Structure 1
Amino acid sequence: MAKYIILDTETTGTDELDRIIQLGYLVLGGKEIEVYNEFCSSDIEIKYPAMEVHGITPEMIEGKPKCTDMASYQKLLELNTPDNYMIIHNAPFDIGMLQKEGFNLQMKLIDTLRVAKHIFEDEDAHRLQYFRYKMGLYKQEKQEADALGIEVKAHDAIGDVLVLKLFLTELRKAVQAKFPNENPVEKMVALTKEPILVKIFRFGKYRGRMLQEVAAEDPQYLRWMLKSMENLDEDMRYSINLYLGD
């Protein structure tokens, strides 16, 4: 039977050298939901902006094992097979952090951030905390947390995993409604891989404008973006090419 691993990490920061200091995940698909939540030490100091977000201090990880020595990490290695599903909100970040610890994903991946952008394309934001309030998920948290023995704290790995579990239920319903003839889980796997059509500029001189309108009015600017902006993400690159008809 397939297992579904809903995962989140907290880290020393977001730069290339930063590392995991908390690993939290739930394992669904068995008779009972399994909870894994551990802090780990790191040779990289926790940056103050990161500490401000997740509240993990050096004292909290002092004396803890390295990430790869944690029981939760070893269990994750056991679960890492093509039959299972990894579910993360903004997967590239967490997968990238796990790769630094020697973890190479073999599971099918569902990135709920990308799926949400496909399904809820007109929302103002797609952050997990946004949906936590927009969908009223916070009203269900205590009952769910008590049943699993989890303490819910914003931007805590296992707390965010619990919110993601609740969000996943609503996201699955929305996928099923939009694609009634398809398996919603496999459709989420597929949507994770598909490019996202960007409709509105979120940055630059055309911020707030429709991308399609800018393509008609100032196509040279968009072609300049494609040529000159090396850090342009693949979804924006895909969308510009589509609206330019290139």
Structure 2
Amino acid sequence: MSALQLTRPLAFIDLETTGTNVATDRIIEIAVIKVMPDKSVLNKTKRINPGIPIPAATTAIHGITDEDVKDAPYFKQVANEYKQFLENCDIAGYNSNRFDVPLLVEEFLRLDLNFDIKSRRFVDVQKIFHLMEKRTLSAAYKFYCDKDLENAHSAEADAIATYEILEAQLARYEQQLKPEVEALATFTKEDDYVDFARRMTIQNGVELFNFGKYKGRPVRDVLKIEPQYYDWMMKADFPLNTKQKLTEIYHSMMLKKP
């Protein structure tokens, strides 16, 4: 019997992509395993034509070639379908807080689709694993489920394995972990950050730059003394999510001006 207690759907997501740069790389396979409160499971998995070449080094990892996706839909053709499928879902995954969720949000933003994150809770199964055991997805699957992960780097296989690992973690650590999404999201939560790329963090309610010459400086102070820094960031190769959050801060400052 599943130990996971759900008050709303929990969607396990996994992406195979052209690379690891959130700002420039694209999805080539997306799997969403949606676990409902009654423990029924819905599956939506698709290959995606990224619109750019898949590097050979990336193909060597997941085995997906340009030929494999040449007739697949572009993300813009399935974006609304996935956005609706994820409606009212909390999100889980393996390293999802640092990669899968930021890249998926970036794909939505390229299409001017705002994927709400404020009302969702995020459970990173990798973070639980690293806090408890510190290994990889295949090792986690072997360790927790005593199974070999077949078809590793297939988005669907990885997402299903991640769901099984979380269930096994809840059983193994029943004294330490509550089987509730709120508790798991809190347990796996890292330092507060403004944007997914962590170019800006939050300390004591203040947004700080987390890179470059102004690292550790309040964003609002920097924009006041050097407003052209905003223009530079908006023109530079930062993820759209970073630019979106920076713009929100900038606009809030402008509204407060007399």
1:108 matched to 2:121? The reply is yes
**For residues 99 and 185 of structure 1, what CA distance do their matches in structure 2 show?**
21
Equivalent residue in structure 1 for 2:170, among 155, 169, 172: 172
Matches within 5 A, 1:1-246: 2-15=8-21, 16-29=23-36, 32-70=40-78, 73-81=79-87, 83-91=88-96, 92-102=98-108, 104-106=115-117, 107-118=120-131, 120=132, 123=133, 125-138=134-147, 152-179=150-177, 182=178, 184-194=180-190
Amino acid at match of 1:134: F
Evaluate the alpha carbon distance shift between residue 19 and residue 159 of structure 1 in structure 2; reply closer, same or farther with a 3 A threshold.
same
Q: 1:5·1:26 contact (CA, 8 Å) conserved in 2?
A: yes
The 1:173/1:194 distance shift into structure 2, 3 A limit, reads farther
| Residues matched between the structures, number | 178
Q: Which protein has greater RCO, CA pairs closer than 8 Å, 6+ apart? A: 2
Deviation per CA, 1:148-176: give whole Å up to 9, x if none.
xxxx5111100101111110101222443
TM-score, with structure 1 as normaliser: 0.64
- State percent identity of aligned pairs: 20
2: distance between equivalents of 1:13 and 1:117?
23
In structure 2, distance between residues paired with 1:40 and 1:75: 13
Deviation above 4 Å: which 4+ runs of structure 1? none
TM-score by length of 2: 0.62
What is the deviation of 1:110?
Answer: 0.5
Distance 1:117 1:68 in 2: 35
Q: Report the CA distance between 1:105 and its aligned residue.
A: 4.4
Q: Cα distance 1:154–1:80, how it changes in 2: closer, same or farther (>3 A)?
A: closer
**Which structure 2 segments of 5+ residues have no match?**
1-6, 109-113, 192-211, 216-258
The one-letter amino acid of 1:77's match is: K
- SS of 2:72's partner is coil
| Equivalence for 1:148 | none
Over the aligned positions, Cα root-mean-square deviation in angstroms equals: 2.5
Distance in 2, matches of 1:79 and 1:126, equals 31
Change (3 A) 1:134 1:176: closer
